[in-house]
Amino acid sequence: MDLTSISPTLLIASLMVAATPILLAALGELVVEKAGVLNLGVEGMMIIGAAIGFIAAVEIGSVWLGFAAAALGGAVMALLFGVLTQLLLSNQVATGLALTLFGLGLASLLGQGYVGIKVDALPRLDMGPLSDLPFVGRVLFGHDPMVYVSLALVAATWAFLRFTRAGLILRAVGESHDAAHALGYHVVRVRLLAIAFGGACAGLGGAYLSLVRVPQWTEGMTAGAGWIALALVVFASWKPARVLVGAYLFGGITVLQLNLQTAGATIPVELLSAAPYLVTILVLVLISRRGRRGGDAPADLGRAFHASS
Amino acid sequence: MRLTNLLAGALTLGLAGAAFAQDEPTKVGFVYVGPIGDGGWTFQHNEGRLALEEEFGDRVETIYQESVPEGADAERVITQMALQGADIIFTTSFGYMDATNNVAEKFPNVMFEHATGYKRDHPNVSTYDARFYEGRAVIGTIAGHMTETNKIGYIASFPIPEVIQGINSSYMHAAKVNPDVEMVVTWVYTWFDPAKEADAARAMIDQGVDVILQHTDSTAPQAAAAEANENGGRVFTFGQASDMAAFKPVPRIASIIDDWSPYYIKRVGALMDGTYEQTASWGGMPEGEVVIGEITDAVPAEVKAEAEAMIAAITAGEYHPFTGPIMKQDGTVFLAEGEVATDGQLATMDFYVQGIEGEIPN
C-alpha cells in the first residue's frame, strides 16, 4: 500500500466538488422544511436541474446561464408541488414522491438529444498569485465559482434564518402555522416562496452534477443524490452549518474511500464503501446529541394548512 | 431511489392490461438495470430489443422496464411482465438471478432468459452471456502499450465472476506486452452512478493512472478523462458495452461493444417456430456478440495491428485468452502450460491472477 500517492491537495479539491451537489440540494430542502413543508421531490428537482442546466449551457453556450436556467427549472418544478400541496392541499409525501417520478421522466425526455454531447466546463477561479500558493492556493482559492457560491449560500441561509425578520417569520410558519396566521402572516405565500427557493437550490445542485462534476448529461445521473440530501437535513437537525459539515463529510469520505482503494489500502472494500453513510450519520447524530433532544424538527413539518382550520 | 422504484412498480401493477389471447404476436419482455440512455450496457440491450422488432415486425410485441433495482423489486417487475402475458422475458443483469428463478417457478409456460447468470433451477430458465474477457484481452494489450506511468486502472462494479474475468484478462494481456504494468482496481459497488464513476476515474487520474478500463455502465469516466486531458493530462479510456463514440479519438481509443441482437433474434425466432430449448449460451467474438469498436489513430499503427491480429485469432477460434501457463495470485497453478480454461472454471472465477495486488472483496 502506498498512501503517499494520495495528494491531500487534490483530495480536498475533489472532496469539495463531490460535496457541492448534495450541499446545495440539502440547503434548499432545509429552508423548505423550516417553513413546515416536507418536499420529497428533491431527486426529481435535481435531475430536472441537471437536464435543463446542461441543455441551456449547450444551446446558449454559457455555463452561467445554464445554472440560471437550472435554478429556474427547479423552482418551477417546486412550485408545481407548491400549488398542489399548498393551494389544493394534496398530501405532501405522495406529491413529493410523484414529483420525483415526474422529474426523472421529464428529464429523460428533455435530455434525449443531449446524450454524449460535451459542454465547456466551468473554469477554475484564477485568483492570480493567491491560487499559485502551494497547498493553500489550490485548496482555498482554486475552485470553480459555484463552490464559493454554495458556501456563501450556506452563510446567507444561516444569517437569514437567525438574524432577519423574514427568517423569523419563516420559522414561525414552520413551527406553528396557526399562530403565524393569527398574527397576520400569509402562511401559504411564505411556504410557496420557501418551496421555490428549495427547488432553485436543488436545480443548482443538479446542474453542478451535469456541468461540473461529471460533466455531461446521462439519464438518471443523480442516482439517489436527492435522497442523500433529504436524509442529510434530518441528521443535521435543520441547521445550515451542520448540513455543510454533513455534506463535506459525505463527499469527502466518498472521494477518500475511492482514493484509498486506488492506493491499495488494506481495508475491506465493503467497509470503505459503507463508510460515507456510516460516518456521516454517526458524526451528525453525535453532534445533535449535545443539544436539546427531540425538539429540532419544525413542529408543523408536513402538516397542511388552510386558513379555515 | 428505492422508494421511487417501489412506487413505479406499484403503478405498473395497478395499470396492468388485460390478458392476451394465444394468437396474438409473441410478447417479449425486457428488464433493464439502468436507464436506456446510459449510453452503455442497457443501451445495448435495448438496441437488441429494437433489432428484434425490426426482424420480426408485427409478429413480436416488446415491453420493457428501465432502472429496475436488483433485489425484491425485480421479482415484482418480472412477475408483472409474466402477468401481462409476456411469452419470453429477458432479465438483463446478474443481480436478477434469484428473482428470475423464483418467478420462473410460478410461470412454467413463460420462458425466462437471464443474462450473465448461472442458475437454471427450472426447465424454463435459460442463461446467456457474452465472452467479454475476449474483448478485455484486446483492450488489455492496447492498454499495456499505451501506458507511460505503467499504471492501468479498472473501475470494477461488483465482485462477480464476469468482472473478475475481465480484470484478469486485461491484466494478463497488458503484462504480456509490458511486464512493468501495475493494475489498480477500484470497486464502486454500482453498475450505474455517473457521479461516483467520475469520482473513481478522477481518483485514479490523481494517482497517476493513465489508462482506465471501466466495468460500469455510464460514460462518466470518459468525461472525467476528457476533462483531465483538457487540463494537460494524458489519459486513455475504452468504451464499455457500447461504442461511446462521442469520446473519440481521445480519450476513448477503442471499445468493447456488446451486440445482443443475434442472440435475441435467434431465441425469439426459436420460440416462434417451436424449436426453443433451455440453454446456457456463452457467445463471444465468433458469434458476433463481442465486437471491438474502432481503434482510433491515437494508437500507434503497430499496436493497432497487434490488436487486430488478436481479434482475428480469437474470432477464428485459434486463441483463447485464458491459455496456460497462468498462476493464481497466491502462486498456485491455475492452468498448466498450454492448458485452456474450461467454461466452468471461468464461470466460477473468484481469484486474481499472479501480479495483481490487493484482495477481491466477497
Give ipTM to 2 decimals. Answer: 0.79
Interface check B217 vs A, CB under 8 A: no
Paired residues of B154 in beta bridges = B185, B213
Chain A residues touching residue B359 (CB < 8 angstroms): 266
Pick the CATH number of B2-130 from 3.40.50.620, 3.40.50.740, 3.40.50.2300, 3.90.1150.10: 3.40.50.2300
| pLDDT number for residue B16 | 41
Query: B111 phi and psi, to 5 degrees?
Result: -90, 140
Interchain CB distance below 8 Å, B187 and A43: no
Q: Averaged over A41-69, what is the pLDDT?
A: 93
Interface check A221 vs B, CB under 8 A: yes
Query: B52 phi and psi, to 5 degrees?
Result: -60, -45
Q: What is the chain A residue with the closest CA to B204?
A: A262
Q: What class, spelled out in words, does domain A3-114+139-290 have in CATH?
A: mainly alpha
Model's pTM, two decimal places? Answer: 0.82
Q: Where are the domains of chain B?
A: 2-130, 132-257+290-347
Interface check A90 vs B, CB under 8 A: no
| pLDDT number for residue A117 | 76
User: Between A288 and B114, where is the model more confident?
Assistant: B114
Please check the confidence at residue A229 and state whether its pLDDT lies above 70. yes
Residues B297 and B249: beta-carbon distance below 8 Å: yes
Residue B129: exposed, middle, or buried by beta-carbon count in 10 A (0-12, 13-18, 19+)? buried
User: pLDDT tens digits, residue range A114-164?
Assistant: 877 777 766 666 666 666 676 667 677 778 889 999 999 999 999 999 999
In this predicted structure, which of A92-96, A203-207, A279-283 has the lowest mean pLDDT?
A279-283
Residues B216 and B244: beta-carbon distance below 8 Å: no
| pLDDT number for residue B272 | 93
pLDDT in tens, chain B (362 residues): 455 555 554 444 444 433 344 467 999 999 999 888 877 899 999 999 999 999 999 999 999 998 898 888 899 999 999 999 999 999 999 999 999 999 999 999 999 999 988 899 999 999 999 999 999 999 999 999 999 999 999 999 999 999 999 999 999 999 999 999 999 999 998 888 888 999 999 999 988 999 999 999 888 899 889 888 988 889 999 999 888 888 888 899 999 999 999 999 999 999 999 999 999 999 999 999 999 999 999 999 999 999 999 999 999 999 999 998 999 999 999 999 999 999 889 988 999 999 998 888 87
Interface check A273 vs B, CB under 8 A: yes
Rg (CA), chain B: 21
Confidence grade of residue A223 (pLDDT, cut at 50, 70, 90): confident
Interchain CB distance below 8 Å, A223 and B198: no
Smallest Cβ–Cβ distance between A270 and the set B8, B36, B361 belongs to B361
Interchain CB distance below 8 Å, B7 and A118: no
Interface check A94 vs B, CB under 8 A: no
Other C-beta atoms lying within 10 Å of the C-beta of residue A18: 27
Interface check A118 vs B, CB under 8 A: yes
Pairing assessment for the beta strands B252-258 and B290-293 based on DSSP bridges: antiparallel
Rounded Cα distance between A131 and A211, Å, is: 22
Q: Where are the domains of chain A?
A: 3-114+139-290
Interchain CB distance below 8 Å, B7 and A5: no
| pLDDT number for residue A215 | 83
Q: What class, spelled out in words, does domain B132-257+290-347 have in CATH?
A: alpha beta
Residues B41 and A218: beta-carbon distance below 8 Å: no
Pairing assessment for the beta strands B151-156 and B182-187 based on DSSP bridges: parallel
Task: Give which of A262, A267, A270, A273 to mutate to test B binding, by max B Cβ within 10 Å.
Answer: A262
Smallest Cβ–Cβ distance between B37 and the set A209, A218, A223 belongs to A218
Q: Averaged over A49-67, what is the pLDDT?
A: 93
The x, y and z cell numbers of residue B360, run together, are 477481491
Residue A4: exposed, middle, or buried by beta-carbon count in 10 A (0-12, 13-18, 19+)? exposed
| pLDDT number for residue B73 | 87
How big is the A-B interface in CB pairs under 8 Å? Answer: 134
Return the amino acid letter for A300: D
Query: Burial letters for B177-199: b for 16+ Cβ neighbours within 10 Å, e otherwise?
Result: bbeebbbbbbbbbbbbbbbbbbb
Rounded Cα distance between A39 and A302, Å, is: 8
| pLDDT number for residue B12 | 47
What whole-number percentage of chain B has pLDDT above 90?
Answer: 72
Highest mean pLDDT among A73-87, A262-276, B192-206: A73-87
| pLDDT number for residue A2 | 61
Spell out the residues 6+ positions from residue A296 whose beta carbon is closer than 8 angstroms to its own. Answer: A237, A238, A239, A288
Q: What angle, 0 to 180 degrees and rounded to 10, lies between the N-to-C axes of helices B161-177 and B132-146? A: 40
Query: A287 phi and psi, to 5 degrees?
Result: -60, -45
